[in-house]
Amino acid sequence: MERATKYDVFISYSRTDAEGAETVARYLRDVGGLQVWIDRWSLVPGEPWELSLEKALQSASSVVLIVGPSGLGRWQEVEFGAILRGQTTGRAPRLIPVLLPGARPEALPVFLRDRTWIDLRKDVADERGLGRLVAGIESSEAGGEIAQEQQMGDSLRTAGDLAEATSHYQRALSIARAAHGRSHPIIADLLVRLASVMRAKGEYASALDSLQEGLEIGREAYGPGSATLASILNNMGAVLRDVGRLEEAGDCFRQALEIDERALGPDEPTVAVRLGNLASVLLEQNRLNEAEPLMRRALAMDEQNLGADHPNVAVRLNNMASLFLATQRLAEAEPLMRRALAIDEQSFGPNHPNVARDLNNLGALLQDTAHWAEAEPLMRRALAIDEQSLGPNHPNVAVRLNNLASLLLDTHRLAEAEPLMRRALAIDEMSFGPNHPNVARDLNNLGALLKDMNRLAEAEPLFRQVVGIFEVSLGKDHPSTRLARANLDRVSSAGGDGT
């Protein structure tokens, strides 16, 4: 089988600049000794030109963007779009702008204006400028380094090693900024990935800073109506929701929804995701009459587009059930939860983490309706699934332990609940560090248990830790912080020394 040619450089140019582009291409080939792709030399008769272009872009380590007096040409913009798609998926050839006589720097795409370009405006055959171009192409190893660091970050994030994932994303950003400037789309993509790790670590302020920078780059690079911009807004909304800034979160989710409805169409599955996210914020704001029609629309869209037994439908059913719980419509919630469980068992098998999530949800409903004997085996099964599929020290296991402990409290089995809560706390401290909101949640649960057991001297320092963690991570006025402060005050006034 014939092997694809590996090109050092792809030449992108407007038809009106063909002569200047060929001058540059000849120098790179004849003097620089580089493997050059330019359509006039490289297109194969009878082969679709789009296919040839795509192959060349996939194999080139650099792209020279020729800009003449008329700016970017129509077909050049097509090539440019393909270049951006390749870069934002991790394979990042270096983009090198070259200005021909009569070109204006302001004709460059916005994110390339802060980059060093090759200036041939005085003479297209300027050997000094062309020599700099050869050196730039020969140093284009950066793209592979960016992709390698990003992929390592992705793998470590999936494995739960958030500290190492952060290091790799930060190294990828450093390389990308040096190679592509500070306003390139690949920077926005890396910032979103870094923000997802910061969010998982509970470093919400850092996550928001990264997303804000990514949003500004995205607006310039992609324009205000792009689906990529909607994705960044969606991620920002999720972090704002985490820290209780619900009005701002709703604004982000609403913007993302409006963009995707225009860009993708009102019935696209991504739009259902946006509807669900906006509805979740409205639910937290107790705006239930606004949330319900959005959830119903999202469910109907996924059933229509994906089929009634698709796993996405199970997500929508669980979301709708949570709204019914909030409105005390428990009889309506239960069949939705049971249907979601059946879908996920059929889709993934009986021992998948999604099944554990569904079992946990159904168990919580049964607990709320005092069906404790039916709820307990579901919660124990959910715990066993996550321990087996994710490992005994995964953060999801801590969630299952806390939920089972809550049921044991409801059935007055406090001595059985305590070791589960302490194990959950140890898992989260190991996974996230001592100052993460999940650790505060575990400390709060354990403190409440100790208070109920009249072990006030042990409970008080735990509640004090909770207040400290929430004040730093969520802010002093967040509802969780206020509740934690109230718990501390109650224990202190009751006599934290246990008397």
Domain map (residue ranges) of the chain: 9-140, 410-499
What value does the mean pLDDT take over residues 217-234? 86
226/451 Cα distance (integer angstroms)? 52
The string of pLDDT tens digits covering residues 388-397 is: 998 899 889 9
Residue pair 485/471 in contact by the 8 Å Cβ criterion: no
379/367 Cα distance (integer angstroms)? 10
443/464 Cα distance (integer angstroms)? 9
Is pLDDT above 60 for 143? no
What is residue 37's three-state secondary structure?
strand
Assign domain 9-140 to a CATH class.
alpha beta
Angle at 346 between CA 340 and CA 350, to 5 degrees: 90
320/52 Cα distance (integer angstroms)? 48
93/250 Cα distance (integer angstroms)? 37
65/137 Cα distance (integer angstroms)? 12
Residue with tokens 């939705």: 336
Amino acid at 455: R
The string of pLDDT tens digits covering residues 257-284 is: 999 999 888 988 889 999 999 999 999 9
**pLDDT the model gives residue 57:** 75
**pLDDT the model gives residue 192:** 94
Q: Which residues of 365-398 are buried (b: 16+ CB within 10 A; e: fewer)?
A: bbbeeeeeeebbebbebbbebbbebbeeebbbbb
Is pLDDT above 80 for 90? no
Helices (H) and strands (E) in the chain, counts: 22, 5
Residue pair 181/114 in contact by the 8 Å Cβ criterion: yes
- Identical fold at 9-140 and 410-499? no
Q: How confident is the model at residue 498 (pLDDT cuts 50, 70, 90)?
A: very low
Name the nearest CA neighbour of 460 among 409, 498, 419.
Answer: 498
Residue pair 180/94 in contact by the 8 Å Cβ criterion: yes
Looking at 1.10.287.110, 3.60.110.10, 1.25.40.10, 3.40.50.720, the CATH number of the domain 410-499 comes to: 1.25.40.10
Higher local confidence (pLDDT), 201 or 49? 201
β-sheet bridge partners, residue 292: none
**pLDDT the model gives residue 3:** 45
Amino acid at 369: T
Count CA atoms closer than 13 A to 205's CA, side-chain side: 7
Q: What is the DSSP letter of 107?
A: G
Ranked by mean pLDDT, the top range of 5-14, 124-133, 161-170 is 161-170
Ranked by mean pLDDT, the top range of 152-166, 171-185, 301-315, 469-483 is 301-315
